[in-house]
Amino acid sequence: MKVLIIIDAQNDFMPGGSLAVPQGNKIIPVINQILPQFELVIATQDWHPENHISLAKNHLGKNEFESIQVEGIKQTLWPAHCIQNTSGADFHKDLQTEKIEAIFRKGTHPMIDSYSGFYDNAHLKSTGLAGYLREKQATELYFCGLAADICVSFTVKDALKEGFVSYLIEDATKALNEEDFAQAKRDIQALGGKIVNSAKV
């Protein structure tokens, strides 16, 4: 089964959002166009509590985009984003959500961040996504969404480590940092993943 996984296509990552990815909104028409090609569509959603450790506002004297160490793991301090039950955490209004069969929420634990749709950043807690995909007998996973260099690439790499055939749809994702995305693509390919264009889906 061919599966599309839409990563964090949420308002706070769109232009005008609190953690905007440049031209993040441009991926929405691309995603909508390819939806009919897939037997199963699922999505992830960043879903932070107000007191989440990744939010700069929760660290006195620290600034947005500074880094700290949390249990030996580097943690970037982000602007407050995708707070549970806020409009910033909602999917972009133009995203066609009718085909989305399941939504996996991440970053819900206040003490650890979760970039990947499969695990938190310390790989202590699974979201259940891998088990769900195996239950559905998924054979090929295609990834899109935001941000390309962070949550999308972390999710693709975890999918490959879980043994799934995985493709990143390059024109259906946008990066916060292009250099980091270039490295992420090399990492994905080194793990056996493929970079494709939406026309090749």
15-54: pLDDT as tens digits:
999 999 999 999 999 999 999 999 999 999 999 999 999 9
User: Per the residue annotation, which of 12, 144, 151, 157 is the catalytic one?
Assistant: 151
Residue 57's pLDDT band, with cuts at 50, 70 and 90, is very high
Q: By the 8 A CB rule, do 127 and 159 touch?
A: no
64-99: pLDDT as tens digits:
999 999 888 899 999 999 999 999 999 999 999 999
Q: Please indicate whether residue 12 is annotated as part of the active site.
A: no
Handedness of CA 169, 201, 43, 32 (dihedral sign): positive
Angle at 11 between CA 14 and CA 118, to 5 degrees: 95
121-154: pLDDT as tens digits:
999 889 999 999 999 999 999 999 999 999 999 9
Q: By the 8 A CB rule, do 1 and 142 touch?
A: no
Predicted confidence at residue 161, as pLDDT, reads: 96
What is the arithmetic mean of pLDDT over 162-181? 97
User: Hey, what domains does the chain have and what are their CATH numbers?
Assistant: 7-200 (3.40.50.850)
d(Cα 44, Cα 12) in Å, to the nearest integer?
14
Half-sphere exposure of 3 (CA within 13 A, CB side): 26
User: Per the residue annotation, which of 106, 157, 174, 185 is the catalytic one?
Assistant: 106
Predicted confidence at residue 63, as pLDDT, reads: 94
Q: By the 8 A CB rule, do 83 and 11 touch?
A: no
User: Per the residue annotation, which of 8, 12, 120, 158 is the catalytic one?
Assistant: 8
Q: By the 8 A CB rule, do 195 and 185 touch?
A: yes
Predicted confidence at residue 73, as pLDDT, reads: 86
Q: Please indicate whether residue 106 is annotated as part of the active site.
A: yes
What is the arithmetic mean of pLDDT over 168-187? 97
Angle at 56 between CA 52 and CA 59, to 5 degrees: 85
Q: Please indicate whether residue 151 is annotated as part of the active site.
A: yes
Distances (CA, A) of 68 to 63, 74, 78, 181: 11, 6, 11, 22
Answer whether the bond into residue 122 is a cis peptide, omega within 30°.
Answer: no
Predicted confidence at residue 3, as pLDDT, reads: 98
